[in-house]
Amino acid sequence: MNDNPLLQPFDAAPFDALKTDQFKPAFEKALAEARAEIDAIAQNPEPPDFKNTIAALDYAGYRLDRISSIFFNLNSAETNKEIQALAQEISPLLTEFSNDITLNQGLFERVREVFEQRESLELDPESATLLEKKFRHFSRNGALLDEKDKKRLREIDSELSRLKLTFGEHVLEETNTYELHLTREEDLEGLPESLREAARMKAESRDKEGWVITLEYPSYLPFMKYAANRGLRKKLYLAFGSKGFHGDALDNREIVLKIAKLRYQRARLLGYDSHADFVLEERMAKSPGAVLEFLESLREKALPAAKRELEELRAYAERRDGLQHLEPWDKAFYSEKLKQEKFELDDEVLKPYFQLEKVIDGVFEVAGRLYGISFEPDDSLPVYHEEVRTYRVVDADGKLVALFYADFHPRPGKRGGAWMTSYKPQFRKGDTEERPHISIVCNFTRPTASQPALLTFDEVTTLFHEFGHALHGMLADTNYPGLSGTSVYWDFVELPSQIMENWCYQPEALALFARHYETGEILSEELVDRIRASANFQEGIATVRQLSFGFLDMAWHGGDPTGISDVKAHESGAFASTRLFPEHEDTCMSTSFSHIFQGGYASGYYSYKWAEVLDADAFAFFEDSGIFDPEVAGRFREHILSRGGTEDPMELYVRFRGREPQIDALLKRAGLVPAVR
């Protein structure tokens, strides 16, 4: 125990000293410590007040939180069977501990007593928010239930924690085990040399001749975009779209049904009509009806545009290749060809200008110009994999702002997608301020034997997106860890990330990093103009696609799922109003929809579009004053990035913008209404 680095004082996560078998004893010790802290608060003989009850609760369990953040990021970014088995063991213990807090009657009575005195306490806005948040957390999660229902709530939460982990393990294993093994040169027709080289390297890593295409995004997406062999595109599309849907040991259908039904049972137990009603009570949208009204209002505007775009694509495919029936596996291929024809723009032409290292430098420079921070590489920080890059973030005076970790490439132990996480929150306690440790994890194109890592433009925007989340964490300036950084409403959390994507389309920002990796040539004004002109290309189709995911999420969580027995049939009904392509019985999205069945977006997938309204409106403010205007950037940092969840998000937004957000900027940017200034 004395040699366990997790149980020694540490600041930066001690990745270099960690062994998997150290986690369980560390969790056991940290759980015991956290329980003792909670018991001390609950049994405090002093009358309850804000400091000894509410603030004390928020600071409690600090070591446990840090160990958890390290462990569960490893389970996402560098996992193995041993870690996955341990996660199945640890998660129910953490769920039990969480329930022990919220279902502790004596503790709740102390919280309630402070809450009932709130009008006379003269709390600052941040403390008042924390008090309300703590009281609502107890009241919303079972503190008012009788003992029988509390027992049932514990059972549901424990089962849900296991099911979500298993769901994610199945998706990861499906992704890792599938391969499209090609041995004929003609099967590579249309593929750029960089993808051929990457596929050849993948085959070599698996001791195979020829080329291997996988379901990892940097392999799957370019193949669907460039491969001329329609049969192979179909094969890969069906493999990607059927993860967790094969009737084998990795099938997720029963897990999906169990998760949806348990969430509904939990919501009903707590007095809510549905899981969405429970979740949305603490979101800007407030109710399932408001979410559906929002999604439907966008669908009405986007669907006509999407149908026009699809008809154009069908006509193009028929004119080009005589294709009579456009299928989903044709969409990316013909869209790319049409985009090249209309805008003379090809990702393969752009990629040499987006060397990963240069894009990283560029996003750092953008952040520096906006917020006065700089990023200093620090190779002394321990990492969990040799590819992870580490930086010290400092302000203009050299004061530490944050530690920043970045992990960019796919590996067998890393789940798909891109995300931001935190190893340590920012907060103040007494005279001490703790600065945050923030990480972004992505799955970008790897370097090859002949080229450095060159990003597609989509990968560039993804990097800026995740970096926006990171800024939200790094620039936090709050007193309490429970309100710091990204601890905000989930339909507000995407504002800092999505607004950063806008700089990828600005000539002034692109000039900072878009340089040819061989010649050093700056991305030409002509190519920049083409990027901007193509920004709305098939935006109707893209919008309808995103809306369909929101409708599917609400179909699972916005009502009573107890009568659902067929996952595919239920999904088909949810997609009916947004379907653009023929449906295929061999595919099912729900069984690999990790955002809502493994991650935290259940009843919240709509928030991507919700936040687009905010980000378009907010960026219009930047555009009016200059995209690097220090006053607007200062307002965004002060009222949005630094404040976390300390106040109602709409109040924070109005403080930044001077008014509530308007949808006009989004509709104009998406090309769904004529742009009028």
Nearest 5 degrees, angle CA 616-CA 620-CA 624? 175
436 sits in the region (left: phi over 0; alpha: psi -120 to 50; else beta) called: beta
189 sits in the region (left: phi over 0; alpha: psi -120 to 50; else beta) called: beta
Position of tokens 């940097």? 218
Q: Would the CATH topology of 254-344+539-600 be identical to that of 352-537?
A: yes
Residue 103 has which token pair?
A: 């279902």
Q: For residues 142 and 153, is the Cβ–Cβ distance under 8 A?
A: yes
Torsions phi, psi of 403, nearest 5? -100, 140
Q: Which residues contact residue 430 at a Cβ distance below 8 angstroms, ignoring those fewer than 6 apart?
A: none
Q: What is the pLDDT of residue 671?
A: 84
Task: Round to whole Å and give the CA distance between 72 and 78.
Answer: 10
Helix (H, G, I), strand (E, B) or coil at 40: helix
**Could you give the strand order of the β-sheet that contains 389-395, starting from the edge strand earlier in sequence?**
373-377, 389-395, 400-407, 437-441, 419-424
Q: For residues 116 and 139, is the Cβ–Cβ distance under 8 A?
A: no
**What H or E segment, with its residue span, contains residue 64?**
helix 62-77
Task: Round to whole Å and give the CA distance between 465 and 498.
Answer: 6
Helix (H, G, I), strand (E, B) or coil at 46: coil
Burial class (CB in 10 A: 0-12, 13-18, 19+), 361: middle
459 counts as catalytic: no
pTM of the model: 0.93
Task: Round to whole Å and give the CA distance between 200 and 219.
Answer: 11
pLDDT single digits (tens) 280-321: 999 999 999 999 999 999 999 999 999 999 999 999 999 999
Q: For residues 422 and 436, is the Cβ–Cβ distance under 8 A?
A: yes
Q: What is the pLDDT of residue 347?
A: 86
Where would I find the H helices in 322-399?
A: 328-343, 347-350, 356-371
Q: For residues 113 and 135, is the Cβ–Cβ distance under 8 A?
A: no
Q: What is the pLDDT of residue 676?
A: 41
Distances (CA, A) of 538 to 306, 488, 543, 606, 670: 7, 32, 9, 20, 9
pLDDT single digits (tens) 28-39: 999 999 999 999
Decide the pairing of beta strands 211-213 and 180-182. Answer: antiparallel
Distances (CA, A) of 521 to 121, 124, 352, 518: 62, 53, 10, 8
Q: Which residues contact residue 15 at a Cβ distance below 8 angstroms, ignoring those fewer than 6 apart?
A: 70, 382, 383, 384
Helix (H, G, I), strand (E, B) or coil at 401: strand
Identity of the amino acid at 451? Q
End-to-end CA distance of the chain: 66
Bridge partner list, 429 = 432
Q: For residues 588 and 567, is the Cβ–Cβ distance under 8 A?
A: yes
pLDDT single digits (tens) 116-127: 999 999 999 999
If you write DSSP's letter for every residue of 79-142 in order, what string do you get? --HHHHHHHHHHHHHHHHHHHHHHT-HHHHHHHHHHHHTGGGS---HHHHHHHHHHHHHHHHTT
Query: In terms of CATH, what superfamily is 254-344+539-600?
Result: Neurolysin, domain 3 (1.10.1370.10)
Q: What is the pLDDT of residue 675?
A: 46
pLDDT less than 50: residues of the chain? 675-677
Q: What is the pLDDT of residue 670?
A: 86
Catalytic residue among 466, 501, 571, 612: 466
Q: What is the pLDDT of residue 672?
A: 80
Report the greatest alpha carbon distance in the chain: 82
Helix axes 105-116, 23-42, angle to 10 degrees: 50
Q: How many other CB atoms are there within 10 angstroms of residue 19's CB atom?
A: 9
Q: For residues 354 and 522, is the Cβ–Cβ distance under 8 A?
A: no
Fold of 5-144: Glutathione S-transferase Yfyf (Class Pi); Chain A, domain 2 (1.20.1050)
Task: Round to whole Å and give the CA distance between 244 and 177.
Answer: 12
Task: Round to whole Å and give the CA distance between 134 and 482.
Answer: 9
Where are the chain's structural domains? 5-144, 178-241, 254-344+539-600, 352-537
CATH architecture observed for domain 352-537: Orthogonal Bundle (1.10)
Q: What is the pLDDT of residue 505?
A: 96
